[in-house]
């Protein structure tokens, strides 16, 4: 059996064959989980990541990497009825994608053969591109291109993509997100680009999953008493974040339920209900735009864990153990009306300003609690945490429309926007992309 670390360094999908081995290798003893109480976030992240990476990186290197990467707050806010909000939107580009991108960039920097320059291509519809670009900004030996659909990102998103600069270039493609993905795929398949050492950074990259395990340990240590079961509600699109939660459960956090909260792209909640999987195609456009995913790419991993098999196209080859799945997972779909209602409720009842992604998780949690705790949400009930995955200041129009409050633009983004834009508009043409890549390469 391969050790988990080799999955990372080859950037392959995690294979959960031999799952007991996985658990044995990386499980946390209960005492160790208790020991995380009161520790700062970078320390907790270090304890978790070292389970996977200590052979490859060395403890000193890993410790300084994590400290350097996580130099922003990760607040856990206590609400009524033993509920909590974990705020993951305080990083450099104001979405939870920073957690993975910041560590992934440093790992790749560490593991890069010193004689090789690496070119990273990312197709993005928003948050991933800015998080990855910002994480690699100014790292020696890396060149990053971010392809985004020029008419499908918000004003702020466009600015945060264009204004990274240095070794990171934005390519505004005259096309849709799918076109951007196709362009990237064509580049990977083109042997004439081998000399560029192309690498992707998409959501199935295992380097992006491991860091997304860390904050579940951190939040659990703060919100739960020793050994107590907890409930997490995760706003989900490609299910990478939710899969991080699933791995945290497999590593030993006593999680009573993972709530996978989705928008109108409801293939998974329908599957849990009916046992039949049908991807949503084309995907639906909702306010929580980072979750507009009709066929979540990390769902195959959930199927695998529960003994099933789902392929990339969304075809089920083997039904997973639905009973066990429903035992551990709950999934709820929220339309835009329910999302906005949740934003209002959070504001009126909890004094929280949420953006749409966090609001979907908040609504999902409340729906679950209302249907599973008939006797109210009293003292005896499990602690629960929903994830706010972006800073509301990244979604000023929606927040202002719904709450009549103008959210502040996060400081890190304000600084970013002062930089000179580094963007080229390109047609939806692979030949044009290839020409740009080869020309830049020639200039080194
Ligand atoms: C990407 C993203 C999500 C969805 O995360 P997945 O891992 O794709 O499920 C939720 N909220 C925000 C703000 C995001 O950027």
Q: Which atom of ligand 1 is nearest to the CA of 358?
A: 11
Mean pLDDT of 348-371: 97
pLDDT for 429: 97
Q: What sign does the dihedral 131-200-240-47 (CA atoms) show? A: negative
Say if ligand 1 is within 6 A of residue 238 CB. yes
Round to whole Å and give the CA distance between 354 and 156: 17
The yes-or-no verdict on residue 9 having pLDDT over 50 is no
Q: When comparing pLDDT for 18 and 143, which is higher? A: 143
The predicted-structure confidence for 84-119, as pLDDT tens digits, reads as follows 999 999 999 999 999 999 999 998 899 888 999 999
Q: For the segment 176-217, what is each residue's pLDDT rounded down to a tens digit?
A: 888 998 999 999 999 999 999 998 876 556 678 899 999 999
pLDDT reading at 221 higher than 90: yes
In this predicted model, which residue has the larger pLDDT, 227 or 126?
227
In sequence order, what E strands does 247-369 have? 255-262, 309-310, 316-318, 329-333
Contact of 307 with 320, CB cutoff 8 Å: yes
Residue 99 structure tokens: 């957690």
Enumerate the domain spans of the chain.
29-69, 76-93+208-403, 97-206+411-443
Determine the topology of domain 97-206+411-443 in CATH. Answer: Rossmann fold (3.40.50)
Contacts of residue 67, Cβ cutoff 8 Å, sequence gap at least 6: 42, 46
Q: Is the pTM of this model over 0.75?
A: yes
- Report the nearest-CA residue for atom 14 of ligand 1: 290
Q: How confident is the model at residue 18 (pLDDT cuts 50, 70, 90)?
A: very low
DSSP string of 216-230, one letter each residue: HHHHHHHHS-TT--E
Q: Is the pLDDT of residue 2 over 60?
A: no
Q: Name the residue with higher pLDDT: 386 or 2.
A: 386
Taking 50 as the threshold, does the pLDDT of residue 39 lie above it? yes
**For the chain, what is the mean pLDDT?**
90
H helices of 309-372, in order, are 322-328, 336-350, 356-372
Is residue 13 over pLDDT 70? Answer: no
Spacing, Cα 389 to ligand 1 middle (Å): 7
How remote is the CA of residue 141 from the centroid of ligand 1, in Å?
28
Contacts with 42 (C-beta within 8 Å, 6 or more apart), sequence order: 66, 67, 69, 70, 71
Residue 95 is classified by DSSP as: B
Contacts of 244 (CB under 8 A, 6+ apart): 209, 210, 211, 212, 213, 216
Tens digit of each residue's pLDDT (9 = 90 or more) over 227-250? 999 999 999 999 999 999 999 999
- Asked, colleague to colleague, whether 76-93+208-403 and 97-206+411-443 share their fold, the answer is yes
Cβ of residue 236 lying under 6 Å from some atom of ligand 1: yes
Contact by Cβ (8 Å): 135, 152: no
CATH fold of the domain at 76-93+208-403:
Rossmann fold (3.40.50)
Which residue's alpha carbon is nearest to atom 1 within ligand 1? 290
Whether the pLDDT of residue 59 is over 90: the answer is yes
Give 42's pLDDT tier (boundaries 50, 70, 90): very high
| pLDDT (0 to 100) of residue 20 | 42
Whether residue 241 has its Cβ less than 6 Å from ligand 1: yes
290 ligand 1 Cβ < 6 A? yes
384-442 per-position pLDDT tens digit: 999 999 999 999 999 999 999 999 999 999 999 999 999 999 999 999 999 999 998 87
* DSSP symbol at 315: -
- Checking if the pLDDT of 349 tops 70, the result is yes
């Amino acid at each position: 059996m391969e050790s988990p670390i080799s999955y990372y360094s080859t950037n392959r999908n995690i294979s959960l064959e031999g799952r007991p081995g996985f658990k044995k290798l990386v499980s946390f003893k209960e005492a160790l989980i208790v020991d995380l109480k009161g520790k700062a976030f970078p320390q907790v992240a270090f304890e978790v990541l070292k389970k996977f990476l200590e052979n490859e990186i060395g403890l000193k290197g890993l410790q300084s990497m994590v400290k350097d990467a996580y130099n922003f707050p990760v607040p856990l806010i206590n609400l009524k009825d033993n509920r909590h909000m974990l705020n993951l939107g305080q990083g450099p580009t104001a979405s939870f994608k920073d957690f993975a991108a910041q560590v992934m960039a440093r790992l790749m920097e560490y593991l890069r053969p010193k004689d090789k320059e690496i070119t990273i291509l990312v197709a993005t519809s928003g948050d991933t591109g800015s998080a990855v670009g910002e994480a690699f900004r100014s790292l020696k030996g890396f060149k990053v291109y971010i392809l985004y659909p020029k008419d499908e990102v918000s004003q702020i998103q466009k600015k945060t993509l264009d204004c990274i600069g240095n070794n990171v270039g934005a390519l505004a493609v005259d096309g849709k997100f799918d076109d951007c993905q196709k362009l990237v795929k064509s580049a990977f398949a083109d042997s004439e680009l081998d000399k560029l050492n192309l690498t992707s950074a998409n959501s199935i990259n295992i380097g992006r999953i491991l860091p997304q395990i860390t904050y579940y340990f951190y939040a659990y240590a703060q919100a739960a008493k020793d050994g107590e079961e907890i409930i997490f509600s995760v706003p989900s699109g490609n299910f990478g974040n939710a899969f991080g939660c699933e791995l945290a459960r497999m590593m030993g956090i006593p999680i009573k339920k993972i709530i996978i909260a989705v928008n109108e792209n409801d293939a998974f909640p329908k599957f849990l209900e009916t046992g039949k999987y049908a991807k949503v195609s084309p995907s639906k456009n909702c306010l929580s735009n980072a979750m507009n995913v009709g066929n979540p790419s990390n769902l195959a991993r959930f199927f695998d864990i529960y003994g099933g098999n789902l392929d990339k196209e969304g075809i089920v080859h083997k039904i997973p153990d639905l009973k066990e799945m429903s035992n551990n997972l709950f999934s709820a779909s929220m339309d835009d009306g329910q999302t906005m209602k949740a934003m209002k409720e959070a504001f009126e009842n909890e004094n929280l300003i949420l953006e749409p992604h966090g609001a979907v998780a908040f609504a999902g949690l409340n729906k679950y609690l209302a249907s599973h705790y008939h006797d109210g949400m009293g003292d005896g009930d499990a602690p629960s945490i929903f994830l706010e995955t972006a800073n509301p200041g990244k979604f000023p129009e929606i927040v202002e429309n719904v709450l009549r409050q103008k959210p502040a633009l996060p400081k890190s983004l304000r600084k970013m926007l002062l930089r000179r834009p580094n963007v080229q508009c390109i047609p939806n043409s692979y030949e044009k992309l290839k020409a740009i890549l080869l020309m830049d390469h020639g200039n080194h």
